[in-house]
Structure 1
């Protein structure tokens, strides 16, 4: 049996534009919502639809025409006390902490999740998804897409920040017998099957 998991990154919102450590409550902006609505119908019919618990992921799923089930294990990286601040603001006041966080996957100077812990959490979820019949579509935070790719390819968590995930793109994983294959970052566009 081959399992198929398509990870969709959320459409654009103010938090993504500002590199803000979002607390998960920021909605899509009108341009992001319109782009997602225009891409509705561009994905194959899934067996199940899941989302990160964040507002932007749930709203992206809805705009794409799906009713997704929020899954805690697909939540984005918890930035702890940095939530509500931009990366520039944190870098100006805590440059060493930001440097450590970006270079050491086990570092969590903000008191939230480390990159390593997110990769492990998402990896455990992906391992269980490999046994699911049919096609799973998951609208998830960009860091969840990164963590899934790290796990699927058996990469070191040190490459996490080197994986760019553009808004409203599909990363497809297909797996069987403990092995995943990867198709990266297809843009969702109107009329694309």
Structure 2
């Protein structure tokens, strides 16, 4: 059985624009406009999911998806770094940030490691592989990155070497253990 999974990154928000660890902020007005403009451009789907974050739920709604939320699709738990910019963390905890970026098993912020994120997303993909038809999920960029890493069998530390711009889709097709990946096409010509 061939399964199809389309992972859509959320529209722009202040946290994404400022390179800030997610703090639950909503989409900004420009992001909401772009998401609404892309509504109606998605292929037919059987299931719709969303990360529980505000910007993913709002993007899903703007795209016209009646999406269920799933904790397994949550963005990476950044622990005490939540709401801080990368520059702020780099200034305050340079060694901890360097460790976190280089060691996928590390979680110096008290949250979740990259490896744990990749394992969680891989488990969700295994479940999706057991279903026929298309699943669409609006997820944080790091969730799409984790799916790409695991689908390709790449090392977990390669998560940081993949860019996932706002309102773009990563598509996986195949079955458990063998995925083909299409990355980075914008939804409905949405500008970034």
TM-score (norm 2): 0.96
Offset of residue 177 of structure 1: 5.4
Offset of residue 118 of structure 1: 0.1
Residues of 1 paired with 2:92 and 2:189: CA distance?
43
Structure 1 stretches of 4+ with a deviation exceeding 3 A read: none
Q: Deviations over 1:50-69 (max 9, x none)?
A: 01000000000011111111
Check the 8 A contact 2:104/2:113 in 1, yes or no: yes
Look up the match of 1:142. 141
Residues of 2 paired with 1:133 and 1:17: CA distance?
36
Gaps of 5+ in 2: none
Residues of 2 paired with 1:177 and 1:59: CA distance?
30
Q: Which sits farther off after the overlay, 116-125 or 182-191?
A: 182-191
Check the 8 A contact 1:41/1:190 in 2, yes or no: no
Residues of 2 paired with 1:76 and 1:34: CA distance?
23
TM-score (norm 1): 0.96
Q: How many residues align?
A: 190
Look up the match of 2:50. 51
Check the 8 A contact 1:42/1:190 in 2, yes or no: no
Residues of 2 paired with 1:108 and 1:9: CA distance?
24
Q: How does 1:66-145 map to 2 (within 5 A)?
A: 66-145=65-144
**What secondary structure is seen at the aligned counterpart in 2 of 1:6?**
strand
Check the 8 A contact 2:130/2:176 in 1, yes or no: no
Check the 8 A contact 1:9/1:142 in 2, yes or no: yes
Q: Deviations over 1:42-97 (max 9, x none)?
A: 11111010010000000000111111110000000000011121111111011111
Quick check: 1:31 aligned with 2:30? yes
Look up the match of 1:155. 154
Check the 8 A contact 2:126/2:176 in 1, yes or no: no
Offset of residue 133 of structure 1: 1.5
Check the 8 A contact 1:20/1:86 in 2, yes or no: yes
